[in-house]
Structures are given as structure tokens and as C-alpha cells.
Structure 1
Amino acid sequence: MVIASEIMEVLEEDEMFSEDSEDENSDLSDNALQEAFAKGLLKPGMNVRVDKPQKFVNNVAGMKQCLDDLKKDLPWAERLDLTNLPVEDVIAKIGGNMQTGIKGEVNADDDFQREMFFYRQAQATVLEALPLLNKHGIPTKRPDDYFAEMAKSDQHMQKIRKKLLAKQAIMERSEKAKKLSAQRKFGKKVQIEVLQKRQKEKKAMMTAVKKYQKGMTDKLDFLEGDQEAPKKDTSQSSKKALNKKGPSAKRKYKDQKFGFGGKKSGKKWNTKESHNDVSSFRAKVANAKGAKGKKKGKGGKQNKRPGKSVRRKMKGRS
């Protein structure tokens, strides 16, 4: 009971202040409550905050009066206000979708449909505003010599200019590097083509030299470096010309020395005629009574080749 009486005394002291000093009263009441809490007069759970229900006031008459105060009888050129519906969605109409979204048919969650609605509404506003602006003599295009004060400071624009220049320099270096890379690739390609051409010319020259050595041609055009290497002519006319000309001297010499070629394998095989032919049979040779192809000297001894020293002495005597 003592605690309750002391709290009532504190609240009575707070009510003694006037309504004009309401903020000061709140401070004083807070201070008084803090002092009471410090003295142990207040304990947690004793004070419960009760919020007053919020009262909503719909003053229609006051709102209309404020609107009438804001309205002024000014010409349209001073107001430049337009309220209109969006233009017809031609694309949706062609596609067969008639839900153009003019009166609350726009899906607010569909970003594309909502933005297209705003875009078509801006189109309608422009189509309606341009004739009115031209009628009132208001220019709609900026003149060529129009200069306006920048909203940004010169220092800020200098920073932007430096950044743009740095970005441009980076792009130029990148383009230069790309060009150098392309030139290197092109130079490497040209070098490979030159090496391949040289190898091809070398191969053609070696072929021409071999042809000349074999007597297939008597031309020495391949020795001239400026002229192109002779090409292989595989046509029938060139082959006929070579056949009419006949074999070369080298070929004739080889044919005379080694024969005309032909079948070599099986030449020593026996046939029926060779098997029955015994005219070349020799009994002494068959019975090994005498060495074939060896001559014997006096006394039946076989002649032997003299030694190396003897042959040298015989050479010296001659």
C-alpha cells in the first residue's frame, strides 16, 4: 500500500503541469519513473503499456476543399497535363490476342505486359501532345546551337573523360594486338607456302634430272632457275611420242650387256624333253673320276697358285 500511494503522488505531480509543456511532462514523468525504479518502488511486470486504438478520419469535404484550392484556371500551355489511355496493341491484334490490357486487364506480375502497357500509353501521350504543342507554338526539337548547364561538375566530367580515354586506349591496344597476331599468322602461313613451293620445285627438278639421265628427255630447261619446273605429262600423246622415239643409248647398252629381260625364274627347271635328252651325259663326270673344270699338271698333280712372295718376285722379274 505504501508503494501504491507513492506512485499516485508521483502521477499527481505530473498532472500539475499544463498541456502546453506536454513534451517536458513526458520527460519529467520518465525521470520520475526512473527515480522510482532506482529506489525499488517499481518492479518488472507492474507497468503494462496499453496502446490507444488508432482513429482513421476520412474528411471528404476537407480533401475536396484542398483540391479546389490547388486548382487554378490556367491555359494548357502552362499546365502541360494529359490523361489518356494507351494506343491499341497492333501486334497483339495481329496475333489474335485481343486482351490488350486497357481497363484493368493488365497482369501486374507480368513484367513484359506491364512495360508494354506503359510504352503504349507514352505513345498515345506523344501523339496527342505534339499537335497541341505545335498549335501553341511551343518548339518540340532542340536547336543545333543549344547549350545547357550540366548537372554534373567539371571535376566529375573530367574524371569521366579520363576513364573514357583510358578505356579507349585499352581498346586500341587490344585491337593492335589482334592485328599483330593476325599478321603473324598470315606471315607464318606465307612462310609455310613458300617452303612447300620450294620443296615442290626441288622435287620437280629431281624428277627432271632422273628423266634426263634415263634418256627420256633431251631438254635442259630444268637447269634454268627462273623457268618453272617441268610438269608431268601423263597424256597418251606424250607416251606415244616416247614409244616412237625408241629406247635411249643407256637402255640399249644395258640390253646388249644383260639381255632383253623376260622371265628369269624357272629357266633351269627340267621338262619332259630335257629329261629324256641324255646326249650331254658323261660317265666319267657322273662317277667322279675326274674333277670337272680342273686341269692337272705333270705327274697327275693339280696345279696350285704360287704364294704371295713368289708372285711378287715374278712381278719384279717381268
Structure 2
Amino acid sequence: MAQDSESASDTEDSDLELQDAFSKGFLKPGLNVVEEAKKRYVNNVVGLEQCLEEFKKNIEWIERLDMTNGPAADIIALTEGKSVSQERSDIDPDDDFQREMYFYRQAQATVLDALPQLNQQKIPTKRPDDYFAEMAKSDHQMHKIREKILSKQISMEKSEKAKQLRALRKYGKKVHTEVIQQRQKEKKAMMTAVKKYQKGLTDKLDFLEGDKVSSKTKKEGGKGPAAGIKQNKQGVNAKRKYKNEKFGFGGKKRGLKWNTKDSHDDVSSFRSKVAHSKSNSFGKGRKKNANKRPGKRTRQKKKNQAR
């Protein structure tokens, strides 16, 4: 309760002060903002020099390595006959490229002035061949990076192997389809050759040796058994000979048993004794079969008599 009373009294005092300022004309209608006094900057040269003397130390240049240099000579400006002051006046401070090149030439001039002094004091400026610098990253971090690089290499190798396998599968499918097409072509050519032989258009039987002929035609550059068929010089094997004797060579079979004029006139195989013998005469010299079954009517009569 005491805090509430204090805050209420403060607000009343602030309101009274505002009313008093408004009545005196210090407040104007609109937004009133408290103006802060401007900061005053004091250029205390004596104090700055005193501070500089306090932290300045008289040590050798090799410990400080401080140098103040202008930019190195610009070859292009020298060829154009420009002086250093003209060259500096031509530099645009808002141009990033010119500004950075000016800093680069300034560093170049500093190096050209510092190297002779370092060599004079016999201080090495080149890194030895057996110099090992301390790594910025720890061994643990470098081990992680190495593992990551190895994992990337392994994944790349796996992807390459997968690509090669896909290419081999694709090539294998292509070869498989080509082999099937070649077999179908050879089969078609062989069937064509068989039909030609059946119709009597050719008398060659080399198409029966399919594998040998196909291999020969491939060596000779032929496209199938019908192209450049040659007779087998080795002869027919025993199995093929037996099948030929048993089944023949194919071809036309209808009408083989028909008589021709030559077969009708040829009577060399006729034997009169065999032809006119009693055993071969129709109805003569035949023995009647004693166990011949009686006819149906006879059997029916016998059944009726038995009743």
C-alpha cells in the first residue's frame, strides 16, 4: 500500500510540473522530445603525447618489425611518364580494385625494403625443407576428415562398379538377343534348304550338318547355311548313316509304290514256280479251319434245340 501511494504522488508531481511548464510557454503543441546536449570532442594533444610516451618502448627493430612505406613503383605509370603524386591523385577511393591494388603495391614495397635488412642481420627468410608446422586442427579432427574422404572414395568406387555392371548387363542382353536372332535366322535358312530339297530344287544334303556348316560359314564370312554351303569332306558319321538307311533322306513319299512303265515292263523278279504253286492259288490247297466259329443263325438254331 505504501508503494502505491508513493507512485501516485510521483505522477501528481510530474503532472504539476508539466502544467507549470505549459503555462510558462515552454511546451508547444505536438510531440515533445527531450533534446540531449551535443557531445563535445576535446583534442587533447598533450594528453595523447603523454599516453604515447608511457607505452612506447625503446626496443630494436628486429623485435618490432614496423615499417612505413608508400606503394611500389607502377611500371605502367612509369612508362606513361606519371609521377608518384599524379599516380596517387588518379586513384579513386570508391573503386575497390584500385584501392586493393594500392594496398598490394604498398605491401610489396614493404617486403622489398624489409628483406635486405633481415638478410643483413642474418635472419632466415625461407622455410627449410624439413620444416614441420603445427597443424591448426587436432589429430582427432584430421582423423574424422580422413575417414570422410575415404567414405566418399568408397562410395564413388561403388557407384562406378554399379555403372560398369549395368553396362555389362546391357551388353549381355544385347549379345543374347543377337544370338537368338542369329539362331532364328539359321533355322529359317535351314528350313528353306529342306523345302528346296523336298521339292527337288537341289540335291545337296549339307544342311543336315547344321552346326558344322554354320561354323564354317561364319569363318568364311557367310550369313547362314544357305550362303556358301560346302560338302563335308570328312564323310557321314555312323549315326547319321544308320538314320539315313532307316528313315531315308526325306523328300516326296506319296506315290512311291505306284507302278511306272519301267516297273511294269520289268519281269526279272517273276518266278513261275512260286506264282503257279498250289499253296499260293486262291481257294486251292487251303486247309479248312476245324475250330472255326459257326455263324449266328447256326448258333441260334442250336439254342432253340437245347430248349
Q: Smaller-chain TM-score range? A: 0.3 to 0.5
TM-score, structure 1 as length reference: 0.44
RCO higher in structure (CA 8 A, sep ≥6): 2
